[in-house]
Structure 1
Amino acid sequence: MKKLLTALAVFAAFSAQAADKITVAATAVPHAEILEFVKPALAKEGVELNVKVFTDYVQPNVQVAEKRLDANFFQHQPYLDEFNKGKGTDLVSVAGVHVEPFGAYSSKIKNIDALPEGANVVIPNDATNGGRALLLLAKAGVITLKDGSGILATPKDIASNPKHIKVRELEAATLPRVLNQVDLALINTNYALEAGLNPTKDALIIEGSDSPYVNILVARQDNKDSPAIQKLAKALNSPEVKQFIQSKYNGAVVPAF
């Protein structure tokens, strides 16, 4: 009987330990860096965090939905909403962490006013980030959009185009690689940072810190309230993470809590 109780205690301890291991998908910069920063604090809370880096915006959601991963940290709410709608998934936001002000970059011009006639402009090809790029171009006066165009605007919603720019949609991750081949590229900050660009210095136009596109920790309905996920959410919203973001990214990434 004593041996049985000991075996059960060992099994229970092992199960508890296993339950506190979580794997979170992230894009490399800044998401994986922030997750790596909170690893020691989570370990003290009994949570072993494994970070799996992705270079795209689709598989992190697919693999969480299919329960191959526990959570992800790479996207904003408008993107998640559109993904859930398009894929029939039911992923949910657990915590908002930071904003990455979206910017427009060029290796050919130094000022947006110098954008040439017929300029080649590239934007992300996913619905929400493509719309975000067009809204930024409209805010800068490069184009105007049809009334009612919002975050899901597409090039078809361009109402006026005084410089007759040519807008192409490409995979978000590829945009830094074609920067020297186009006149203007609108690049998500995580990919800009990975490419060695400094959004606060290199972007010709950039969103303000009041951007509504807060990057979020995402999980499933069945695990969003688990102790490990909640501990991760709390760690990501800690004063230490706020200080880390402010000191490491110098305004290119802005805490949202």
Structure 2
Amino acid sequence: MKLTDISRQLATAFAAVGVSGLVLVGCNNSSAPEANQEPVTEGATAETTASTSDIDPEHTKIVIGTTEGDFADMVRNQVKGTLEAQGYEVELVAFTDYVRPNLALAEGDLDINIFQHKPYLDTFKKENNLDLVEVFQVPTAPLGIYSGKKSSLDEAFKGMSVSAPNDPSNFARALVMMNDLGWIKLKDGIDPLTASKADIADNSKYDIDIVELEAAQLPRARDEVDFAVINGNYATDSGIKLTEALFQEPSFAYVNWSAIKSADTGKKWVEDVTNAYNSEAFKKYAHETFPGYKYPKIWGSDTSASIDTAAKTDSTETVETEAAAQ
């Protein structure tokens, strides 16, 4: 299956189910590790200052849940100070898995979480019967293929091992990337959002041993495989630069979203958090701090400079489907 075929199917799939892209995320039925609950700080640290009368009088403390890494840093370094300057108390809870953040949100332990793309959110809330809804997009590090024992795509060989995230959503993305590179061939007509090993039509060219690992383990296991498909947030959290990627997924369909309980839709505190993430100060911070990321569509700006993957493949075609408006 050619990249152009996959791209058309992605566009069709997203339009059909009304999804827009949101890095990261996986389904894992194992017990989740405890989250890191950070203390509330006193005083305002952001440039913006405002009277406490500007806050939601019925919701003066906001508990934000993220995965550890770039999303947590966005809160620590920018959003937290902006909201505290406005008069809110802000608490960050950082998780090391993709399961607890949605469960904690649904259970009321969080007010909002920020860590997942919309296909994952849609699947997770359906499987777990959760009443959650997306609110706004955030800068997102794309999925990439990084060096392991081999340092160049030209070193691909028959029998090589490639690690990939074991959650269904990101594993499907990894398969599409390998298809784009010509490493494997996916069946014609498959849904790229749900691609699995069963959808591989031909793996004979390289006879790849696909090693499935939890996303957080992928950076640490690079030395054990020839190439590693790593989620962007875990790459940056482990000190890997996105510009070191040997190949990045060309699709813009997985820009991440925030999520809240449906009952909180339209509340002032939600509007204030949304504004903090879309402020000019945050945009400036994001552009300076996260090179290689994809940015929210609503910003109306080009993505930050990313590596030139076009030179590494015979052809690339970007899917920029952004259904399901905010």
**Do these two structures clear the TM 0.5 threshold for a shared fold by scoring above it?**
yes
**Do residues 179 (structure 1) and 222 (structure 2) align?**
yes
Structure in which a larger fraction of residues adopt strand = 1
Contact residue 97 and residue 214 of structure 1 kept, 8 A: yes
**Do residues 25 (structure 1) and 39 (structure 2) align?**
no
**Partner amino acid, structure 2, of 1:34:** M
**Do residues 207 (structure 1) and 249 (structure 2) align?**
yes
- 1:40 corresponds in structure 2 to 81
- 1:7 corresponds in structure 2 to none
- 2:236 corresponds in structure 1 to 193
Q: 1:157-197 CA deviation, whole Å, 9 max, x = no partner?
A: 11111100011221111111111101111110000011111
Gaps of 5+ in 1: 1-12
Identity of aligned residues (%): 38
Query: 1:46 Cα shift?
Result: 2.5
**Partner amino acid, structure 1, of 2:245:** A
Contact residue 143 and residue 229 of structure 2 kept, 8 A: yes
Q: 1:4-29 CA deviation, whole Å, 9 max, x = no partner?
A: xxxxxxxxx9xx76722011111122
Which SS does the other structure have where 1:109 is aligned?
coil
Contact residue 66 and residue 114 of structure 2 kept, 8 A: yes
- 1:154 corresponds in structure 2 to 196
Gaps of 5+ in 2: 1-52, 300-326
Query: 1:243 Cα shift?
Result: 1.3
- Distance (whole Å) between structure 1 residues aligned to residue 150 and residue 131 of structure 2: 43
**Do residues 167 (structure 1) and 214 (structure 2) align?**
no
Residue-pair matches, total: 240
Which SS does the other structure have where 1:222 is aligned?
helix
- Distance (whole Å) between structure 1 residues aligned to residue 168 and residue 126 of structure 2: 12
Which SS does the other structure have where 1:240 is aligned?
helix
Structure in which a larger fraction of residues adopt helix = 1
Which SS does the other structure have where 2:65 is aligned?
strand
**Do residues 107 (structure 1) and 148 (structure 2) align?**
yes
- TM-score of the superposition, structure 1-length normalised? 0.88
Contact residue 245 and residue 254 of structure 1 kept, 8 A: no
- Distance (whole Å) between structure 1 residues aligned to residue 92 and residue 58 of structure 2: 16
Map 1:28-177; keep pairs closer than 5 Å: 28-36=68-76, 37-149=78-190, 150-161=192-203, 162-177=205-220
- TM-score of the superposition, structure 2-length normalised? 0.70
Query: 1:70 Cα shift?
Result: 0.9
Which SS does the other structure have where 1:62 is aligned?
helix
Query: 1:110 Cα shift?
Result: 2.1
Query: 1:63 Cα shift?
Result: 0.4
Moved more, 182-191 or 112-121: 112-121
Q: 1:38-86 CA deviation, whole Å, 9 max, x = no partner?
A: 1222123222221111110110011001111111001111111111122
Query: 1:88 Cα shift?
Result: 1.5
CA-atom RMSD, angstroms? 1.6
Which SS does the other structure have where 1:105 is aligned?
strand
Moved more, 105-114 or 178-187: 105-114
Which SS does the other structure have where 1:196 is aligned?
coil
**Do residues 223 (structure 1) and 264 (structure 2) align?**
yes
Query: 1:125 Cα shift?
Result: 1.2
Query: 1:254 Cα shift?
Result: 2.7
**Partner amino acid, structure 1, of 2:135:** V
